[in-house]
Amino acid sequence: MSLNGKTLFITGGSRGIGRAIALKCAQDGANIVIAAKTDEPHPRLPGTIHTVAKEIEAAGGQCLPLKVDVRQESQIQEAVQQTVERFGGIDIVVNNASAISLTGTLQTPMNRFDLMMAVNGRATFATIQACLPHLFKAANPHVLTLSPPLNKDPKWFKNHVAYTMSKYGMSMCVLGMAEEFRDKGVAFNALWPVTAIATDAFKAIGADIPFDCMRKPEIVADAAYAILNRNAKSCTGNFFTDEEVLLASGVDDLSSYAMKEGVPLMPDFFLD
């Protein structure tokens, strides 16, 4: 298993899970494109595309940090062009960028609705569309989307229908494109954590949510790494969880991923 020399295009990788995936793959000597919006320090959130670039290069990879607002397809297309000019192609796309608002119908302003739809479903579609011509030329092309399995249980809709719609839009890209491009040999898979992951996204949901009951982003990164090393032609159309991927890879003790061992873990959304 190695991603040495592979080029990854990661959206929203300046912090959290995207950053963890980038650093994991960088250890193999991969080329990493961080396509994210934060190019200057945020007043409340750590990390920029430039700080992550330094970490990636320190880990052994090469990095091209690009300021990209994934709501703008012209910026995505320009970033893809710069990626190909720098690294010669694209082998892997990681759709990590996401917006969240766990609000009910009457509590969701339309500008917030539009943000989630644009950053989640629309940007995933646009990023894949821009990268596909280059993925067709890759030896083992993968598209990995951080989205949940499609679950029609009403409990996952009733409290935050707009957010659920937007995340399921990402998942429907996986479902449809895996079949659409099966004969092209491009893998489309989704990955979702079984438990809550200690990222700044949870701070946006509620500042009082303790990280002690969560797992580190590295559990998702290690699972992503295992998927991206699989044969693209035989591994497509799957809605993986981080636990099942790691267990299949021979990792039967997940305790090291806990933020605080012994504390009961908070389950994530969309999984029964």
**How far does CA 193 lie from the centroid of its chain?**
11
Q: Which of 163, 168, 225, 257 is catalytic?
A: 163
pTM of the model: 0.96
Tell me, yes or no, if 168 is annotated catalytic. no
Looking at this protein, which amino acid is placed at residue 4? N
Domain ranges for the chain, please list them. 7-257
Confidence check: pLDDT of 44 > 80: no
Q: Is the pLDDT of residue 45 over 80?
A: no
Does the structure show a pLDDT above 80 at 206?
A: no
Alpha-helical runs (H) found in the chain: 16-26, 49-59, 73-87, 110-116, 123-135, 161-180, 200-205, 218-228, 242-248
The CATH T-level fold of domain 7-257 is Rossmann fold (3.40.50)
Dist CA 193 CA 195 (whole Å):
5
Percent of the chain at pLDDT > 70 equals 99
DSSP character at residue 120: I
pLDDT tens by residue, 80-133 = 999 999 999 999 999 999 999 999 999 999 999 999 999 999 999 999 999 999
Are 167 and 148 in contact, with CB atoms under 8 Å apart?
A: yes
Q: What would the two tokens of residue 175 be?
A: 């479902």
Residue 204 banded pLDDT, cuts 50, 70, 90: low
34-43, 55-64, 95-104: range with lowest mean pLDDT:
34-43
Instruction: Print the SS3 string covering 88-99.
Output: CCCCEEEECCCC
Give the pLDDT confidence score for residue 27 in this predicted structure: 98
Contact, 147 vs 192, CB < 8 A? yes
CA dist., res. 55 & res. 39, Å (int): 15
Residue 17 has pLDDT above 90, yes or no: yes
Task: Give the Å distances, CA to CA, from 202 to 197, 211, 259.
Answer: 8, 9, 14
Answer whether 170's CB lies under 8 Å from 121's CB. yes
Q: Is the pLDDT of residue 21 over 80?
A: yes
CA distances from 214 to 147, 222, 271 (A): 18, 16, 16
Note the pLDDT tens digit of each residue in 130-177: 999 999 999 999 999 999 999 999 999 999 999 999 999 999 999 999
**Pair 33, 67: CB distance under 8 Å:** no
